[in-house]
Amino acid sequence: MNLLLFSEADRTGDNRIVITDRRLRHLRQVLGSATGDRLRVGELGGLMGTGEIVEMGDRRAVIAIGLDQEPPGKLPLSLVLALPRPKMLRRILRTVAELGVGQLHLINSYRVEKSYWQTPVLAEAALRDYLVQGLEQARDTVLPRIYCQRRFKPFVEDTLPGLVGDSTALLAHPGPYPPCPGSLAGDTVLVIGPEGGFIPYEVAKLEEAGCRPVSLGPRILRVENALTSLLGRLFH
């Protein structure tokens, strides 16, 4: 945890916060923090700064805070991702927050198993928890926006064209397509399918919506590896 994140509910007035949950355990058991120690803090959706521990006990820590720093900016990116299996989704949510993705659309696909949509990972509290873990790692305070699009065709026909607009819209897909470009500066929409890619019908619909297929080469990558490779290439 490189940044201790807190919310309005943790405030006690006079620029102090009280921590009682897993963050307290992390302070005590991982960081070995004690009264008088200073640490980096940030308010969810707000500023970052420093804090000083003024009380450290078994059940709570009281921290005096001073906030004077803006969080890092988000990538100019709208990420569209075929819903991965739950175990991978957990890792991807952390990665999305770490890398500064502003919004993530989780979509259905022929190769997405129906059971994936029933995972507890998609519950609001679980989504928030995994995203917060990514923000803590990257020293950011602004949660990505998550949208669950359970029907492929309505999303591609009704929502995606407006999302694309004047942006550069790329579909990362296995096949004999041009290499993925690098170092983009403008607004970008990036679509990544399930492992093995979208079926031909879905590729055609995505192209109709304005997405241009690109390739990362002959190797078939796991979704999480394709994601980090693509973002590193597009926005390094």
Query: Which residues does 81 contact at the CB level (< 8 Å), separation at least 6?
Result: 92, 104, 105, 106, 107, 191, 192, 223, 227
Angstrom distance (rounded) from CA 148 to CA 130: 16
Query: Which residues does 102 contact at the CB level (< 8 Å), separation at least 6?
Result: 74, 75, 76, 77, 78, 144, 145
* DSSP one-letter code for 146: E
Q: Along the 236 residues of the chain, how does pLDDT read in single tens digits?
A: 899 999 999 999 879 999 999 999 999 999 999 999 999 999 999 999 999 999 999 999 999 999 999 999 999 999 999 999 999 999 999 999 999 999 999 999 999 999 999 999 999 999 999 999 999 999 999 999 999 999 999 999 999 999 999 999 999 998 888 999 888 878 999 999 998 789 999 999 999 999 999 998 888 888 999 999 999 999 87
Q: What are phi and psi of 76, to 5 degrees?
A: -80, 60
Q: What are phi and psi of 14, to 5 degrees?
A: 55, 35
Angstrom distance (rounded) from CA 208 to CA 202: 10
Q: Of all helices (H) and strands (E), which one includes residue 54?
A: strand 48-56
Angstrom distance (rounded) from CA 201 to CA 193: 13
Strand, coil or helix: what is 86? Answer: helix
What amino acid is encoded at 89 in this protein? L
37 burial type by CB count under 10 A (0-12 exposed, 13-18 middle, 19+ buried): middle
What would the two tokens of residue 219 be?
């190797």
Contact (Cβ atoms closer than 8 angstroms) between residue 169 and residue 211 = yes
Where are the domains positioned within the chain? 4-69, 77-235
Q: 4-69 has which CATH code?
A: 2.40.240.20
Q: 77-235 has which CATH code?
A: 3.40.1280.10
pTM of the model: 0.92
Contact (Cβ atoms closer than 8 angstroms) between residue 171 and residue 212 = yes
